[in-house]
Amino acid sequence: MSDRLLVLVRHGQSEWNLKNLFTGWKDPDLTELGVKEAVAAGRKLKDEGLSFDVAFTSALTRAQKTLDLALKEMGQSGIPITRNLALNERDYGDLSGLNKDDARAKWGEEQVLIWRRSYDVPPPGGESLKDTLARTLPYYVQEILPCVLRGQRTLVAAHGNSLRALIMVLEKLTPEQILKRELGTGAPVVYRLNADATVASVKDLAG
């Protein structure tokens, strides 16, 4: 039987995570802690005895660097990597680059909370989680899932909301359930899939 392995990992802490800014499609680098989280992700995967044949990441530096650091830690830097903006973080539109406290002062705490935590209400000029799913899921189905089902062990390094969109589908979560699902920075989630693309097992390597 082939090993239908899919691992999702959220990028390590970015400079804008640290500053409490809405990031979206902006492109800050990892912090020193973020670098350590990415290396630790690679170490956790190595300790699990996992290795990979292919990897996917977004068009943004923080995810790409997390992937590179994790693979280097595993001694696997040579595998094929595909970068695509379909895996980018949710676009926060007019909120991008704003401090979250400043956004609350401008639009009100309740409105900002709705934008951050509702499933289908986008911020001005940006994407809702539903919009992010509509962008990310077709890419997963067309490009990533076929690799997994062929038995290619696949690692995806991306962002909180683009990965939430995939987790929602993999774990058959409702819009309400996915909004409560937290994804730690640099914490791999290990899936093994059945031949029909459903999840056989899931293991969260957080902590």
Which residues form the catalytic set?
Answer: 11, 89
Which residues are paired to 50 by β-bridges? Answer: none
Looking at residue 172, the DSSP 8-state letter turns out to be T
**Starting at the edge strand that comes first in sequence, how are the strands of the sheet with 199-204 ordered?**
81-83, 54-57, 154-158, 5-10, 189-193, 199-204
Return the closest-CA partner of residue 55 out of 190, 160, 152. 152
Residue partners of 129: CB distance under 8 A and separation at least 6: 90, 118, 119, 120, 161, 164, 165, 175, 178, 179
Q: Which tokens belong to 97? A: 């680059």
